[in-house]
Structure 1
Amino acid sequence: MMPTTFAGLGAGGPIMALLAVLSLLSWALIVIKILQLWHSRSGVARRTQAFEQWAEGDKHAAKATLEHGKSPADRITVYAMQALTKGIKGPALEAELTRLGNDELARMNGMIRMLEVIAMISPLLGLLGTVLGMIQSFQELELAEGAANASVLAGGIWQALLTTAAGLLVAIPAAVGAGLMSARIESAAQMIESAVGRLLLIEDHPEL
């Protein structure tokens, strides 16, 4: 994608330059989000072990098991364990856990909207470049009063269509990246809810 985009800078003018910038931006965002979300669904086995320790009454060991967890579910669960150890329960704890969970979700969703915007506007920019190029080609044909070389006209149309292809090449990775990462974030959010719910249930009913 990148070689094609930069190869068309001269043919597509400012729109191709803008699409090249959007391509670089989208790939940078994708890499950043991959690194950020790498551990977002990790720690399932670790949390299972911690819950077993909590149910057995070894709360210190349970907290120690999760202290170095890297997933949002680990962090929220550790906070819940610390609060329960201090005697904080009921609606107050649930409200605070909801707030922390929303903060984690907002952090994970950061910059996803930008990818979605890039995926939405890139094809439109490509289409705009094509329309402007076609207008220019037919203006040249009109000025030549029908005597224009067919190969010259075809070359102008080819250059115009190039911006549409470039717009799609920018939009597709951005759309795929945003979709896959949104699915991963949703799964991570479900893990947070599941972990907290499991801990609170064990706290009230250790025998389960």
Structure 2
Amino acid sequence: MLDVLFKGGPTMVPLMVCSILSLAVFIERFLYFRKLDNNNFRLFKKLELLIANSNLSKAKKMVKAARGPVAAMVEQGLEGYGEDKATVREYVKLGGENEIRKMEKRLRILDFIATIAPLLGLLGTVIGIINSFNILAGAQGMAGPGALSVGIAQALISTAAGLIVAIPTTLFYTYLDSQVEDKTNELNQWSAKLVNLLAEDGSTSRVRGDRYVSKR
């Protein structure tokens, strides 16, 4: 392993760092999404019952104990309980956007690694080929084609390493981004219902289908 690392040239070190960082970010985000509570239907049923009984303090305790972006959006929305729809909508929107920022945390790192890793690999290959030709030039015709092919083969190690890092990182990013997209859709699915439930006016015709939060 160390032999391959040394043969790949100076760019192998940052590529190794990128691979470790990519895996660490993926594991942390994967565990984060696994811990989220997805039973939003039951949450809203309990919330409706508590609001109908004017038990706001118990409703706040319930959503605070729940885990997940929808529960956090509800908790923020409860701060505007009893206000007009425009005010409640702002509370709900703020809560939803805060949760999206939390879900997108560190995803840019994966996007950056997926972009930079192939470039680092290519840079390492270029440096390796330049060194190989410099060695041949200094050998004054004593080095044969075999020496050149060995040098180029070693130089290509960094390109392979860059792709090995970039491909799984791209898959990690795509998977996690789809999780954010799904959760964002859930936030928008429940946002209109939440506004209608918490606002002073209980009519539903004007807000049904609106998207109060959007994925950045």
Structure 2 residue aligned with 1:20? 16
Give the counterpart letter for 1:116 in structure 2.
Answer: D
Give the counterpart letter for 1:69 in structure 2.
Answer: A
Give the counterpart letter for 2:113 in structure 1.
Answer: I
Give the counterpart letter for 2:6 in structure 1.
Answer: G
Please, which of 94, 109, 113 is the counterpart of residue 108 of structure 2?
Answer: 113
Structure 2 residue aligned with 1:10? 6
CA drift of 1:39 comes to 3.7
Question: 2 CA distance for matches of 1:31 and 1:165?
Answer: 24
CA 1:97 to 1:199, structure 2 compared with 1: closer, same or farther past 3 Å? Answer: closer
CA drift of 1:35 comes to 1.9
Structure 2 residue aligned with 1:74? 71
Total equivalences in the alignment: 199
Root-mean-square deviation (Å): 2.5
1:74-93 alignment runs, 5 A limit:
74-81=71-78, 83-84=80-81, 87-93=82-88
Question: 1 CA distance for matches of 2:40 and 2:98?
Answer: 21
CA 1:47 to 1:59, structure 2 compared with 1: closer, same or farther past 3 Å? Answer: farther
Structure 2 residue aligned with 1:35? 31
CA drift of 1:62 comes to 6.0
Question: 2 CA distance for matches of 1:100 and 1:194?
Answer: 14
Give the counterpart letter for 1:106 in structure 2.
Answer: R
CA drift of 1:195 comes to 1.3
- Gaps of at least 5 residues in structure 2 are 205-216
| Secondary structure at the counterpart of residue 133 of structure 1 | helix
Structure 2 residue aligned with 1:175? 170
Question: 2 CA distance for matches of 1:89 and 1:119?
Answer: 46
Question: 2 CA distance for matches of 1:205 and 1:90?
Answer: 10
Scaled by the length of structure 1, the TM-score of the pair is 0.83
Scaled by the length of structure 2, the TM-score of the pair is 0.80
Structure 1 residue aligned with 2:190? 195
Give the conservation status (yes or no) of the 8 Å contact 1:50–1:63. no
Structure 1 residue aligned with 2:160? 165
CA drift of 1:25 comes to 0.9
Give the conservation status (yes or no) of the 8 Å contact 2:15–2:117. yes
Give the counterpart letter for 1:73 in structure 2.
Answer: V
Question: 2 CA distance for matches of 1:83 and 1:7?
Answer: 62
Per-residue CA shift, 1:109-136, capped at 9, x if unaligned?
1111111011000000000100111111
Per-residue CA shift, 1:151-191, capped at 9, x if unaligned?
33222111100000000111112111111111111211121
CA 1:7 to 1:93, structure 2 compared with 1: closer, same or farther past 3 Å? Answer: farther
CA 1:181 to 1:79, structure 2 compared with 1: closer, same or farther past 3 Å? Answer: same
Residue 147, structure 1, aligned to residue 142, structure 2 = yes
CA 1:41 to 1:161, structure 2 compared with 1: closer, same or farther past 3 Å? Answer: farther
Give the conservation status (yes or no) of the 8 Å contact 1:73–1:195. yes
Residue 124, structure 1, aligned to residue 119, structure 2 = yes
Structure 1 residue aligned with 2:213? none
Question: 1 CA distance for matches of 2:156 and 2:36?
Answer: 41
Question: 1 CA distance for matches of 2:183 and 2:37?
Answer: 5
